Amino acid sequence: MKGKKYLPLFALLLILGLFLGLYYPKQITTAFYIDTLSTMDENPPLNHASTPVGTNTNNINKDNTGNSTGFPAEKTLGALLADKGVNGPDARLSISIIKSKHALNILLDGQAIKTFHVEFGEGGLDKKRVSGDHKTPEGVFYVCEKSILTPTDYYLGSRWLRLSYPGKEDAERGLASDLIDEESYKNIVTAIKEKKTPPQRTALGGGIGIHGGGIPEFGENWTWGCIGLSNEDVEEIYDFIGIGTTVIIKR
């Protein structure tokens, strides 16, 4: 009789146990799965694996810029110049390019503000001398033309800034070595004096500029003599570089 008395209670406990065993593991598993999906795009898998289940990871490894690297995001050129009161093309801005370091430096009053990675001509790092050698020239130039390329060109990218190559020194060299005649020499020198675009179709070559289009698949020194950046980088500098901006290219 005593066994029958406790039978309903035993049955109730058994049902309750089955309910807890089936229901709660499912809830725990579901909670972990949802948490994983919601945070996987915010943090690398390694970081997520070391985070306790249920922890809000939305702000882990992020600074106040939204950067998920754990380090402050690098300021744009615009922000850096704005801090110094510059909001567009300015006569105090210039460009220094160092070929051996693959570096393009934006200078304000001669002081570097920001450096960008660049690539050069596939002909090597020697100084450009003739048309078709696919080398990047060296010397002091200026920006003589600017263009926003629409649609974006596969090789030139989204922005183009033509440089004043060939310069006066190139013309003197060309005349001395019989690469160009007296008339071509005079035309180049006159254009440089007037801050215009020099003749582009002499034996010295032409079509040298700063442009975008750079992608990892191109590798190193992929241009035909120009200074190549990524589209993102060339767009960052474009609005601050005016016609006449000095560009110095060194080895």
Could you report the per-residue pLDDT of 137-178, keeping only the tens digit for each?
999 999 999 999 999 999 999 999 999 999 999 999 999 999
pTM: 0.72
Specify whether domain 77-165+205-250 bears CATH 2.40.440.10. yes
Q: What is the pLDDT of residue 16?
A: 56
| Tens-digit pLDDT profile for residues 89-133 | 999 999 999 999 999 999 999 999 999 999 999 999 999 999 999
Q: Quick one: what percent of the chain has pLDDT higher than 90?
A: 71
pLDDT greater than 70 at residue 85: yes
Banded pLDDT at 73 (limits 50, 70, 90): confident
Q: What is the pLDDT of residue 17?
A: 55
Banded pLDDT at 38 (limits 50, 70, 90): very low
For the chain, the structural domain boundaries read: 1-73, 77-165+205-250
Structure tokens at 148: 């926003």
| Tens-digit pLDDT profile for residues 197-228 | 999 999 999 999 999 999 999 999 999 999 99
Q: Are strands 139-153 and 157-163 parallel, antiparallel or unpaired?
A: antiparallel
Banded pLDDT at 248 (limits 50, 70, 90): very high
Q: What is the pLDDT of residue 161?
A: 99
Give the residue with greater pLDDT, 18 vs 77: 77
pLDDT greater than 60 at residue 61: no
Give the residue with greater pLDDT, 62 vs 182: 182
